Amino acid sequence: MTVPNPVVGARPISSVRLPGLAVLLVLASAIVMAALVLLPLLVVFHDAFAKGIGKYLDAIRDPDAVSAMKLTLLVAAIAVPLNAAFGIAAAWCIAKFEFRGKGALLTLIDLPFSMSPVVSGLVWVLLFGAQGWFGTWLIDHDIKIIFATTGLVLATILVTFPFVARELIPLMQDQGSDEEAAALTLGAGGFTTFWRITLPNIRWALLYGVLLCNARAMGEFGAVSVVSGHIRGLTTTLPLHVEVLYNDYDFVGAFAAASLLASLGLITLVLKTGLEWRHAGELAANRRH
Amino acid sequence: MTAPAIPAAPIHARRPWVVHSILPGFGLSLGITLAYLGAIVVLPLVALAIRPWELGLDGVWRALTAPRVAAALRLSFGLSALAALLNAPLGMLLAWTLTRYEFPGRRILDALVDLPFALPTAVAGIALTAIYAPNGPLGSLAAKLGLKTAYSPLGIFIALVFIGLPFVVRSLQPVLQELDREVEEAATTLGANALQRAVRVILPALAPALISGISLAFARAVGEYGSVVFIAGNLPGKTEIAPLLIVIKLEQYDYAGAAAVGLAMVVISFGSLAAINWLQLLLARRGKA
């Protein structure tokens, strides 16, 4: 990141002597951010500890909360690696080869980003719900997808589908394939070439994509809410646990669970910002989100 | 960008739609990509596209024009458009201060812009509700002015502004950073005052990025569920958003009705995005003429 050249009326100014307009604008920005964005974060932690640290610890040690955390970790542990593997495969064929239909493929990969999370859950119910296309067959064979972990995983995969692919594709397109071609002509095999040349070139972008994918996977609410059925201790992920408690007027419990998710968001934000500062050149970071 | 296809490259004998490359793994990576994409994105979307029509054409029409559904669609799309429009000045303010001034805490403020992305939606939802509820810190303030924030359309609007803000800021920042200072300086030496520079020089350069930021914020807001559903109040016909209606219809096992609303949301979203793209193209052409 380059330090921008401070300009007011095209005159460089020092950070100490900000003229009137600049002070006004900086102040206005700070107020907007504090009231609109920072306040919700503070409220989460404030309300979580509103009845003291003891009640907070009780809330996050509650068996339902613990099983919600485990389920959230399990769902992310399945969804994120699958989407990462897909992202690498998609980026390899799109960035390294020229073929017809590439534009359509890119549009399809981006599609889940512009769908409502609720629709991303709905589509699985249409397929596997009791009255879905495969509903009767699944009941006959005693397989549960909706209102079970499989449904949560499918909904999460769909919502987080593009994250890794979208980070990798523009970067690998920029990098071209000269280095891989050189390795191949020197006698390296395809796998060696990928492992020794491509992977090191894309590792930071891959990490960045996985980070964003994981944060969304663990924090997803709308899509999993549709397929979960909200069975306490069984199909409630952490965000759904927050909802259940909140609707029961257990606000300390809800905000305690929310504070864990907020911490996850904060850690992600810190790691992401760190990556952007240190490895800006290897991230294609101007195409964020 | 993509390396241009070398014209002399031989066309693949078995796959005439692929430009030959010495890199391996095209078949494998494309195979994985298509299989995964088909199972996770295409098949579910086909279900969404087909399912509503079991109601028949006028059944779908009746489902969508039922007063409760029509009101929810109007509310979701109307408030999303308003929120995206408010995000324009707020986003310009933040993008401008973050790129043009150097002040203590600038990098932290910059990182905080992503907080609405990083905070799981359910967490943002209950936190915003706590803030804007009649007894909350800002809600009580608004109540003194006679304004009802939480459990009213205004509350939904605030939540949508919250989640849309980063889209506009992040779209504008790179453009503002790369905007040629010399053009602004030239305008100054030619006698343009600050207002003229802003309206005649900076705004036209920002317009395409601004439009795409607004449309991204709009698309996200239309489908948003978690951060809205707690603050909305969910009164049928008054503060009930379209995604919530899908959830309610699914709970009543009205799959076709839910799919009809979902399909309508996808179609209207895509329609408006396409219209915005077209507008942008028109603007770009005018800029060149």
A interface test, pick of B54, B107, B126 with most A CB neighbours within 10 Å: B126
What is the pLDDT tens value at each position of chain B, 289 positions in all? 445 544 445 555 567 777 878 888 899 999 999 999 999 999 999 999 999 999 999 999 999 999 999 999 999 999 999 999 999 999 999 999 999 888 999 999 999 999 999 999 999 999 999 999 999 999 999 999 989 899 999 999 999 999 999 999 999 999 998 887 777 778 878 877 777 777 778 888 888 899 999 999 999 999 999 999 999 989 898 999 999 999 999 999 999 999 999 999 999 888 888 888 888 788 777 765 5
Helix (H, G, I), strand (E, B) or coil at B238: coil
Q: Which of A36, A118, A219 sits opposite B165 (nearest CB)?
A: A36
Residue A153 touches chain B, beta carbons under 8 Å: no
Asked if residues A168 and A178 have their Cβ atoms less than 8 Å apart, the reply is no
Query: Chain B partners of A9 at a C-beta cutoff of 8 Å?
Result: 188, 194
Q: In this structure, what token pair is assigned to residue A68?
A: 């919600």
pLDDT tens, A35-80?
A: 999 999 999 999 999 999 999 999 999 999 999 999 999 999 999 9
Would B203 be classed as within a structural domain? no
CATH code for the domain in which residue B117 is found: 1.10.3720.10
Would B205 be classed as within a structural domain? no
Can you tell me the distance from the alpha carbon of B134 to that of B154, in angstroms, rounded to the nearest whole number? Answer: 13
Can you tell me the distance from the alpha carbon of A245 to that of A255, in angstroms, rounded to the nearest whole number? Answer: 9
Q: Which residues pair with A7 in a beta bridge?
A: A12
Q: What pLDDT, on a 0 to 100 scale, did the predictor assign at position B13?
A: 59
Query: Chain A partners of B226 at a C-beta cutoff of 8 Å?
Result: 117, 221-222, 225, 239
Can you tell me the distance from the alpha carbon of A254 to that of A150, in angstroms, rounded to the nearest whole number? Answer: 25
Would B217 be classed as within a structural domain? yes
What is the domain count for chain B? 1
Please name the amino acid found at residue B153.
P
Asked if residues A148 and A235 have their Cβ atoms less than 8 Å apart, the reply is yes
Q: Taking CB atoms and an 8 Å limit, are A29 and B98 in contact across chains? A: yes
Can you tell me the distance from the alpha carbon of B164 to that of B211, in angstroms, rounded to the nearest whole number? Answer: 13
Q: What pLDDT, on a 0 to 100 scale, did the predictor assign at position B112?
A: 93
- Please tell me the pTM assigned to this model: 0.89
Q: In this structure, what token pair is assigned to residue A205?
A: 């972008």
Which B positions 167-186 lie with beta carbon below 8 A of chain A? Answer: 167, 170, 174, 177, 181, 184-185
Q: What pLDDT, on a 0 to 100 scale, did the predictor assign at position A193?
A: 92
Q: Taking CB atoms and an 8 Å limit, are B19 and A99 in contact across chains? A: yes
Tell me what the mean pLDDT of segment A127-156 comes to. 93
pLDDT bin (cut points 50, 70, 90) of residue A230 is confident
Using CA of residue A46, residue A52, residue A53, residue A57, what is the dihedral sign?
negative
Query: Chain B partners of A11 at a C-beta cutoff of 8 Å?
Result: none
Helix (H, G, I), strand (E, B) or coil at B260: helix
Residue B29 touches chain A, beta carbons under 8 Å: yes
Nearest to A230, CA basis, from A219, A244, A218? A244
Asked if residues A121 and A224 have their Cβ atoms less than 8 Å apart, the reply is yes
Q: What pLDDT, on a 0 to 100 scale, did the predictor assign at position B246?
A: 95
Residue B21 touches chain A, beta carbons under 8 Å: yes
Q: Taking CB atoms and an 8 Å limit, are A33 and B112 in contact across chains? A: yes
The DSSP code for B10 is P
**Predicted confidence (pLDDT) at residue A21 exceeds the cutoff of 80:** yes
Q: Taking CB atoms and an 8 Å limit, are B162 and A273 in contact across chains? A: no
Q: What pLDDT, on a 0 to 100 scale, did the predictor assign at position B178?
A: 85
Query: Chain A partners of B137 at a C-beta cutoff of 8 Å?
Result: 39, 43
The string of DSSP letters for chain A reads -PPP--EETTEE--SS---HHHHHHHHHHHHHIIIIIIHHHHHHHHHHTTT-HHHHHHHHHSHHHHHHHHHHHHHHHHHHHHHHHHHHHHHHHHHH--BTTHHHHHHHHHGGGGS-HHHHHHHHHHHHSTTSTTHHHHHHTT---TTSHHHHHHHHHHHHTTHHHHHHHHHHHHH-SHHHHHHHHTT--HHHHIIIIIHHHHHHHHHHHHHHHHHHHHH--HHHHHHH---TTTT--HHHHHHHHHHTT-HHHHHHHHHHHHHHHHHHHHHHHHHHHHSGGGTTGGG--
pLDDT tens, A268-281?
A: 999 999 998 888 87
Q: Taking CB atoms and an 8 Å limit, are A221 and B90 in contact across chains? A: no
**Predicted confidence (pLDDT) at residue A113 exceeds the cutoff of 70:** yes
Would B224 be classed as within a structural domain? yes
Residue A261 touches chain B, beta carbons under 8 Å: yes
Would B1 be classed as within a structural domain? no
Query: Chain B partners of A30 at a C-beta cutoff of 8 Å?
Result: 105, 109
Q: Identify the domain containing residue B219 by its residue range.
A: 37-170+211-288
Would B157 be classed as within a structural domain? yes
The residue of chain A nearest to residue B130, with distances taken between CA atoms, is A43
Q: Taking CB atoms and an 8 Å limit, are A126 and B93 in contact across chains? A: no
Helix (H, G, I), strand (E, B) or coil at B97: helix
pLDDT bin (cut points 50, 70, 90) of residue A286 is very low
Q: Taking CB atoms and an 8 Å limit, are A116 and B225 in contact across chains? A: yes
Q: Taking CB atoms and an 8 Å limit, are A29 and B181 in contact across chains? A: no
Which B positions 138-167 lie with beta carbon below 8 A of chain A? Answer: 138, 158, 161-162, 165-167
Q: Which residues pair with A11 in a beta bridge?
A: A8
Asked if residues B148 and B142 have their Cβ atoms less than 8 Å apart, the reply is yes
Q: What angle do CA A158, B82, B71 make, to 5 degrees?
A: 75
Residue B90 touches chain A, beta carbons under 8 Å: yes
Query: Chain A partners of B195 at a C-beta cutoff of 8 Å?
Result: none
How far lies A182's CA from each of A98, A140, A185, A189, B22, in Å?
19, 56, 5, 11, 10
pLDDT bin (cut points 50, 70, 90) of residue A238 is very high
Helix (H, G, I), strand (E, B) or coil at B18: strand
A to B CB pairs, distance under 8 Å: 319
Q: In this structure, what token pair is assigned to residue B171?
A: 């779209």
Can you tell me the distance from the alpha carbon of B15 to that of B36, in angstroms, rounded to the nearest whole number? Answer: 21
Q: Which of B170, B223, B259 sits opposite A115 (nearest CB)?
A: B223
Nearest to A222, CA basis, from A99, A125, A128? A125
Would B10 be classed as within a structural domain? no
Would B191 be classed as within a structural domain? no
**Predicted confidence (pLDDT) at residue A215 exceeds the cutoff of 70:** yes
